[in-house]
Amino acid sequence: MGDENATRRLAMVEFIGTFPTLSGAPPTEFSDLSDGVALFEVLSEIAPDHFDPTTIARHLGDNWALKSSNLRKLVRNLEYYYHEDLQKDAPASFQQISSNLGKIARTGDGDALEPLVELVAAAAVTCPQKSEFVVRIMGMSAEGQVQMKGIIESSLQRLEEYDAPDLNDDALEDDPEMIFSNDSGAGVAASAADRGAGGALFDADHLKQTMPTDADKEELEQALLEAKRELATQKSLMNEVREDADKAQAKLRALVEDLQDRLAQRQDELISSEEELRDATTELDGLKARVGELEEEKAQLADELDVASSKAAQLHKAEATVLAYKKKLDGVGVINQQMTDLEDQAAGYLRQIMDLEAEVKKTATLQRQVDSLQKKLEALEFEKNASVDSLKNTSTEISDLKTQLAAAEKARKMFESELEELRAQQAVEHEDVVVEGFDSHAPMSAEQREKVMRMEIENKKLKEEVEALKSGGAVASTGADTAALEAEIKTLKDQLEKKTAENKKIGSDKDKLEAYTKRTLAKFQDKYLVALQECKAKLKEKQDKIEILESRSATEKTAQKREERLLSSTIYELGLAIMQNRLKER
């Protein structure tokens, strides 16, 4: 079953792809049809008078509200095209599609979208240009042709003939044997039933007795002619009233559609504003989280400051140790002099040893003395090297401790200033941005619907009364008296006056409704624009604060790097001075 549905949908996509598109890229997946753009372009080629592809929104992304607006406009125009041009209707399909427009726009549901595509395909094969579109279907793949054949057959089976309501009174014939009654056709039905059943209301003798004379006939004919003229006048008046009612209804329908489009547009703008507000709230939450992180960093820096203080104490101790090492270094200088003297003595000893060896090999005692002197010389050299290494390590440790002390003092000052700024900023940024929603359009929509329903009910009553007048009864009887005919004509005049008054009332109610709708819409727009400006101003303030913080952070980083370079150059110069002092001492 799933494979069959997938094949059907692929065939539908292939069929839609046979039509040219304004964007030049035909749909590749069935879900691409959920925004209504491709279907609207197909219908614009089928019926360009009803479907203008430039009136719909494009490149919608995930904006389901604009997709729903496109689909609503598509379904409304498609239903009107079926009724007016094709004289067809599919009430069940249109009802199902209208109830699933939100699902199609949000999720692109394929099951809910299939009936709409089927109605578009049925319109293509029933429109005046159907031969051209059938040729396109024949150009599809073999499997696509088979699937499209089944789709078109099933969609055509759901179509039925559409009977538009006929409000014309042209079918009424000026029959001299017909009279009007107030029973909405009941008298006609009863008389026809009596005549059809063969049961006459009057027998032949009674007819002879009640047969009017020639003078009575002339009077009746004269009254009948007057009644016909009055009836023709009433018909013309009713036609004018009906035309005015149709015009008013058309204006009201256009007004309702315009209001629906405006409401959808305002809803889309409100959704966009809510998304912007949500982004601003997210940024504000991020800033609050950043403040928390900075507070944690402040606590961490306070701990590091304590550690730096302890290191500074250690540095003071190290300086005392350095002084002791300096004194030892002076002692080492004396030892160096002694070593030089010993080296000279060793050289003299060597010369003496060579002289002694040249003269005569001395005893083993002298040899042992020479060996001991050499061992002492090696021990002195080792001690000298160890003293030099210890001095180097001590100098390096002193320079490191000084560097750490300077960095700790710098960091302490920087973080104390940053802590004060963060405290001031935290006191300012506790305000929340709240945008109150507006619900002023809800009462307007309810009252408008009530007015529209009342006008439709009254219009329906007018149509029923017109139909009653159209099919209303008259009985073929030459024996009715003139008084009853005049009473019925007077009753018809009274009814006509009542309907005229009702039409005037409907027109005044319509004008009041239009004025109320415009006034309410203007109020809603003013409130919406004020709220939108407030949101934009608050967002701009937050953005300015963020930019100030970023510029401040960049400035602090630049200053820190500059201080690091200065500190490194100072350390380098200090090391160079120490090396020069050592060289001078040597």
pLDDT bracket for residue 472 (50, 70, 90)? low
Chain segment 325-336, per-residue pLDDT in tens: 677 767 666 766
- Residue 458 and residue 506 in contact, taking contact as beta carbons nearer than 8 Å: yes
* DSSP character at residue 50: T
Cβ density class 435-452: b for 16+ within 10 Å, e for less: beeeeebeebeeebeebb
Chain segment 249-259, per-residue pLDDT in tens: 788 878 878 88
Which residues, listed in sequence order, are joined to residue 160 by a DSSP beta bridge?
Answer: 89
- Residue 140 and residue 1 in contact, taking contact as beta carbons nearer than 8 Å: no
Which pLDDT does position 401 carry in this prediction? 66
Strand segments (E) across 477-552? none
Chain segment 366-401, per-residue pLDDT in tens: 667 767 777 877 887 787 777 778 777 767 776 776
**Residue 359 in this model has a pLDDT that exceeds 70:** no
Can you give 212-272 as a three-state secondary structure string?
A: CCHHHHHHHHHHHHHHHHHHHHHHHHHHHHHHHHHHHHHHHHHHHHHHHHHHHHHHHHHHH
Q: Looking at 152-161, 314-323, 507-516, which range is the least confident one?
A: 314-323
Q: DSSP string of 456-486?
A: HHHHHHHHHHHHHHHH------TT--HHHHH
Range with the largest mean pLDDT of 107-111, 145-149, 402-406, 523-527: 145-149
**Residue 42 in this model has a pLDDT that exceeds 60:** yes
Which CATH code fits 2-161? 1.10.418.10
Can you give 335-388 as a three-state secondary structure string?
A: HHHHHHHHHHHHHHHHHHHHHHHHHCCCCHHHHHHHHHHHHHHHHHHHHHHHHH
Nearest to 462 by CA among 407, 505, 425: 505
**Tokens matching residue 567:** 């500190």
pLDDT bracket for residue 17 (50, 70, 90)? confident
Average pLDDT, the chain: 75
Which residues, listed in sequence order, are joined to residue 161 by a DSSP beta bridge?
Answer: 88
Which residues, listed in sequence order, are joined to residue 89 by a DSSP beta bridge?
Answer: 160
Phi-psi region for residue 44, left (φ > 0), alpha (ψ -120 to 50) or beta?
Answer: alpha
Which pLDDT does position 178 carry in this prediction? 39
Which amino acid, residue 216?
Answer: D
